Amino acid sequence: MNKSDALLRIEALSKELHYHNNLYYQQDRTEITDFEFDALLAELIELESLFPESIKTDSPSQRVGGTVVKAFNSITHKYPMLSLSNTYSESEIREFDERVQKSVGRPVEYVCEMKFDGVAMSLTYINGILTHAVTRGDGVRGDDVTHNIKTIKSIPLKIQASDIPAEFEVRGEVYLPYEMFERINKEREDIGEALLANPRNAASGTVKMQDSSIVAKRSLDCFVYSLLQDHSTTASHATSLKKLKDWGFRVSDSYKICTSVDEIITYINYWSEARFKLPLATDGIVIKVNDLQLQSELGMTAKSPRWAIAYKFKAEEATTPIISIEYQVGRTGAVTPVANLKPVHLAGTTVKRATLHNANEIDRLDLHEGDTIFVEKGGEIIPKITRVDLSKRISNSKKINFIKNCPVCDSNLIRVEGEAAWYCPNEKGCAPQITGKIEHFIQRKAMNIDGIGSETIELLYQKGLIKNIADLYALTYEQLISLDRFGEKSVTNALNGIEASKNTPFKSVLFAIGIRFVGVNGAEKLALHFKNIENIQNASKQALLEAPEIGDKIAESIIEWFSIEENKVILQKLKNAGVRLELSEGEILVKDSDIFMGKSFVISGVFEKYERDELKEIILKNGGKVNSGITGKLDYLVAGENMGPAKLEKAKKLNIKIISESEFENLLNS
């Protein structure tokens, strides 16, 4: 395809993908399947890679992510992002209404909206194109996180409507749905990482990630709630919300126009219970004067608008006795205490259990046997024990101390310096650790073995047929058909699933073998950097640190894993079975030249013509190495705008050659 035809096809694909995105996210309907949509997007990305000059800031390909930044630019808000005054009582809502009526001299119409618990975001559009997405920051200045916000599919990159102003701003709340929050925490627990506290913190951390490709995988979403422009084209807040929805933004249908304070209270009472059925966290109700002219007349205080107030829900809390404490052992050996509670209704569900996290939490609460505790679910998905009701403590009750031995194999527990968790060190003989590792191996993001589930793993282990992940590939028809609940079809499915897993990409295999702290993204970075398992096994700590996203903790964990003889034996068995332990030819980077052979680079800052990943790929394709940190052996620091001053100072101190973007190009072309 020549360039002219390619540009026409890119334009047509972009238009079609924008149309289907708007149809799905704004009108809740589809005209094509997910497979067909993905095929169109893949075609667009391929054409744009052939003609990179054709990539526009509003291209649907920007949803996929891939931009990496080291630091975030600070941007001054055109309209300050002020906080709202908060209230927790009905009487203060009535006082707010009285103040407003007294100021304007007549009854006022309000709009009530759900206050979603996420990250406030300012979106600026110029000529219909999303140009900046900025966090609240201190209300005056915030961080430019446009590259990450572009990955949110419900936020339009380009407005299709014809009645838009030349420039306008949209305010919204970026949030992480409960389902994704639970999925992230499950993976973090699986690889031995500390769990995220709540969806709001998770959303905030995701928005500030350096690699937008990781952000894209987290499926952030956004509800918008405000339209700002120099000369308003609408008379009320409600019509502004309707206008935003018409333009393709995601506006929650939960808002309501209220003509009296009693209607406001009715709205609050309804959502106090109904909010628990929503798929995202909420923390209150926002009440705004509907008339935009009245908003202007009422004005602002130094901290907040006089025409709006936020009613905050109190955290849902209940009291119930502890029946018992049980201890669970995960695949990494971490021992987690869980409190079994007398069932109690809380936040729309019946709570029977609550995690106690670790020994420190038991000590903090000073738990005794039979204690009545307060359990909370305000903004949290997992019920949390907040404190003990000391007035109901049984006299002479025994203090609860964290166990000293594994509840399964009785091994003495150990505690790693700097970590809160206690671990069972018997990873080769403790049943939950063994079966947990195998269950991790077969999961969808790992080997994705169909026909085998956790119950099957337990049965195979109990029967002595498997003791590690490699034993799966030695299972026979005769062994499986003799087991209870295994018929001809289920045996065939299991064996076919095991056989098919041999073609699993190396990055997924690397995640599947279960090195602690190595998640899906870390495994992908390691696979692309080292190409095969032998290179990772033989890498020094410094060599591991040169791989993208790999820090001290992960590097040390990798070295420890490969130092265990049994792990080496398992790898050899996997290799003998035909499991892929290296990148396929299609995945290996094809070299353009050896011009950078023997040269090492560090890339820092933001560049005009290239993304950081593009520079890295150019260096690798031309024989060079990309390091994560500056050492005396480094050859070049490629310095962009807003690079860290400490890194620059260290490079100067070590007499490292510092080159600009244009000097890098000269070096490449030489």
Instruction: Provide the residue type at 437 as one letter.
Output: K
Rounded Cα–Cα distance for residues 553 and 570 (Å) = 23
Q: Which residue is it, tokens 């238009």? A: 15
- With beta carbons less than 8 A apart as the criterion, state whether 527 and 583 touch: yes
Rounded Cα–Cα distance for residues 619 and 642 (Å) = 21
- For 4, 10, 47, 668, the CA distances from 52, given in Å and listed in that order, are 14, 11, 8, 19
In the chain, the largest separation of any two C-alpha atoms, in whole Å, equals 87
CB-neighbour burial class of residue 475 (10 A; exposed 0-12, middle 13-18, buried 19+) = middle
Token digits of residue 516: 């602690």
Instruction: Provide the residue type at 295 as one letter.
Output: Q
Q: Shortest CA distance to 650 belongs to which of 625, 629, 664? A: 629
Of the residues 115, 158, 525, 647, which is catalytic? Answer: 115
Classify strands 600-604 and 625-626 as parallel, antiparallel or unpaired. Answer: parallel
CB-neighbour burial class of residue 123 (10 A; exposed 0-12, middle 13-18, buried 19+) = buried
Rounded Cα–Cα distance for residues 620 and 604 (Å) = 16
Q: Which residue is it, tokens 């744009």? A: 48
Helices (H) and strands (E) in the chain, counts: 24, 22
Backbone torsions φ then ψ of 462, nearest 5 degrees: -60, -35
- With beta carbons less than 8 A apart as the criterion, state whether 601 and 625 touch: yes
Rounded Cα–Cα distance for residues 576 and 140 (Å) = 61
Q: For this structure, is 115 an active site residue?
A: yes
H helix runs in 578-626, sequence order: 612-621
Name every residue whose Cβ is closer than 8 Å to that of residue 39 and which is 6 or more positions away in sequence: none
Strands (E), 6-147: 74-76, 86-87, 110-116, 119-126, 129-135, 141-143
Q: Shortest CA distance to 471 belongs to which of 442, 503, 448, 493? A: 442
Q: Shortest CA distance to 308 belongs to which of 294, 289, 292? A: 289
Helix H, strand E, coil C: the string for 410-429 is CCECEECCCCCCEECCCCCC
Token digits of residue 188: 């973090």
Rounded Cα–Cα distance for residues 325 and 316 (Å) = 23
Residues noted as catalytic:
115
